[in-house]
Structure formats: C-alpha cells, structure tokens
Amino acid sequence: MKKVRIGIIGIGNMGSSHAKNLMEGKVPGAELIAVCDINPERLKWAKETFGDQVLLFEDSASLFFSKTIDAIIIATPHYDHSPLAIQGFENNLHVLTEKPAGVYTKQVREMNEAASKGDRVFGIMYNQRTNPLYEKLRDLIQNGELGEIRRTNWIITNWYRSQHYYNSGGWRATWAGEGGGVLLNQDPHQLDLWQWICGMPIRVRAFCGFGKYHKIEVEDDVTAYVEYENGATGVFVTTTGEAPGTNRFEVTGDNGKIVIENDKLIFWRNRVFNEKLVMESDSPFAKPECWKCEVPIKEENLQHIGIMRNWVAAILNGSKLLAPGEEGIKGLTLSNAMLLSAWTDNWVELPMNEDLFYEKLQEKINTSCYKKENVDNKTFDLKDTYK
C-alpha cells in the first residue's frame, strides 16, 4: 500500500477540518477518497469545496459497500462513534474515531472487542497527546523526576458557553442526543490526559450541577475527588458557566510539584525528597530547598494533524500509535463514574458497575426532551456538529 485511501463519516466542523487537512496534503501517505453525511447541506458544501475529487455518500452503508477506501475517520455525534467503528472493523477498514470513544463504557467495550478480532489499526483523536507540554509532564513523571505522585489537581473552567450555543442543535446538551454535558463534550481530552499522565484512580466521588448555569438537561458544573491505589488523591473541577475561567494542572510528588498553566511548564523541584526530610529532619519547621525551573518546550504542537500522521504511519509502516483507540475507554470510565457518583450520591469504585450506569443513563434518555427514537433510528440533527 503506497497511500491510505480515507473516507470521512460526518463532515461538520471537525470532519470538514480533517477533510481540508487531507486535501491540502498535510498528512503524508494519506488520500481523501470519500465523505459521508446524512445532511444534504454538508454534501453540497463538500461538492462545492472539493468538486469531483472526492466521492459523496448519503449514508455509511453506501460508503462501506463501495469498497473504495482502506480507512475511515468518524466525526459524528457521540452515540454513533462506537457503532460506526464496529461496522468499519466488520468491513476490514482501519478506524480513527473522534473523541469521546462513546457515551457509555459498555458500548465502547464492544467496540474494543470488535477491534481485537482483526488486525486493523485503531486510533482515537486524542490530539492533546501531541501537546509537548503534556508529553513532557508525562516523561518527567514516568522517569521518576517528580518521585511518587501524592496529589493531582486539574481546574479546567475556561469552557464558557452561552445558552445560544446549546440552542444551536436540538440534540445538544440532552441525554438522548448527546449523552452528557461538559464531561462528554468539552473534557474528554483532559480526562484522557489526566489518566495518561497520572494513571487511573481506584474510586471516585463527584458532585454535578445539571443545568446549573444553563437551561439544559445535562451537567454543566462538576467537582470530582478521586483516590489512587498508592494513597494519592486528586481533584477535577470543570464547568461551562464560569468566566473568567482557569486551566491549571498541578501534580505534586515526593520531589516537588509540576504546574502547567498559561502554556508553561514549571517544575518546583526539591533538593531532598519530602518523605526523607519529614522523617529525618531535627527541625519542627524544616522545608526542603526548592528550585523554580521553567522547563523549555521546543517541540511543535501538531494537534489533529499529528494524530492523523501517526495513524497513517502506523497503517503504512507499523509505527507505534500515540493514541490507541482502545484507550478511549479509560477517560470515558472517569466521565461515567463521575456521573454515576452524582446520580447515586455515593462513591463509585473502579472498575465501575457498567450495567448500573447504563440503567441510569436509560432512565435519563427516556425522559429526555430529545426523543429516544432519534437515538435508536439515528436521525440526528447534523446542521451544527461538534466542536
């Protein structure tokens, strides 16, 4: 195979961006062959933009039946990610899905099982993994520079959204149409990075505000507390109703703390491990000597293009995936666990009770203002698609 022939399913905001990047040759070894969307207006846009260079399909079944592609990029509403990926694997296609991996972990587990039955390359668009700030933080932790993690804290509240944003599509911010709010729409990247860098916790306690700042069904404010196997703790705070917002990720370990904020990585590095000083110092108020180190970041942040290049290279050359699709279940587990904790007003142990979450979600869907049959029949309003 000299080039990977790609079809994109869903050409709203993200899908159209991916299409342009491919057509402009920004992904070596890739060729955009086809686009697919159930919205005629989006197909009209594709025709006007790409002319006869790209095939147009009104539904995914027709695209699969055409046998014109080697791989698909999925950029549709959340509920369709896992089913379309499964269909892709059944048609012997490589798959790159947008985030999140799905709405609930049971659905994503089925997708992962389908992927494991073949040899197709499966990736997820966790483009923040290409951000050199987070790559460096992960490297410092994995190489022991910070020592054992003791506390994690991510405040990510710069997602401010108006009511007009939520009114732009009937499916938005509904349990039946979108399956969640700020955790599922805005925060999948941060939840993924949190576990990618710090590991998965063993239990979660969360407090969610549902329609706290907007006239919506789903969560728009979340404060979650987690505990890790080694006794470390973590806090995750997020909202779409607060301005000015903050994006600050802090990880504390035995050898100091690392903070990512305002596109800078600051390492407050102790000369002596905290644990050693605590036990050996003969002073009641001793503190370790600490150096403020601004860690230089020189690498380019390739974002979506970086993930597509990596995925295509994995298909053509067997390169290691930066964001394997199977790992999408981890960040989604955190999201599901936070919602389940709020719904049950209790701790959620990990691995979580996936059946209970699914049961609770179905209750929400059945009372959703966006009709449940829209989910079952896949009649989503795609006039405005995802960020």
Confidence of residue 298 (pLDDT cuts 50, 70, 90): confident
Residues in the chain: 387
Confidence of residue 324 (pLDDT cuts 50, 70, 90): very high
Distance CA 114, CA 96 (A): 14
Domains of the chain and any CATH numbers: 4-128+302-326 (3.40.50.720), 129-251+330-376 (3.30.360.10)
What amino acid occupies position 384? D
Residue 272 has a pLDDT of: 86
Contact indicator for 7, 72 with CB cutoff of 8 Å: yes
Residue 1 has a pLDDT of: 72
Distance CA 43, CA 9 (A): 11
Residue 276 has a pLDDT of: 77
List pLDDT tens digits, range 356-380.
Answer: 999 999 999 999 998 644 444 443 3
Average pLDDT over residues 83-105: 98
Place of tokens 């972990």: 105
List pLDDT tens digits, range 10-51.
Answer: 999 999 999 999 999 999 999 999 999 999 999 999 999 999
Residue 387 has a pLDDT of: 27
Q: How far is CA 6 from CA 30, 195, 386, in A?
A: 7, 30, 20
Residue 378 has a pLDDT of: 42
In three-state form (DSSP H/G/I as H, E/B as E, the rest C), the secondary structure along 203-255 is EEEEEEEECCCCCCCCEEEEEEEEECCCCCEEEEEEECCCCCCCEEEEEEECC
Distance CA 184, CA 337 (A): 12
User: Among candidates 319, 147, 295, which has minimal Cα distance to 230?
Assistant: 147
Confidence of residue 308 (pLDDT cuts 50, 70, 90): very high
Average pLDDT over residues 199-219: 98
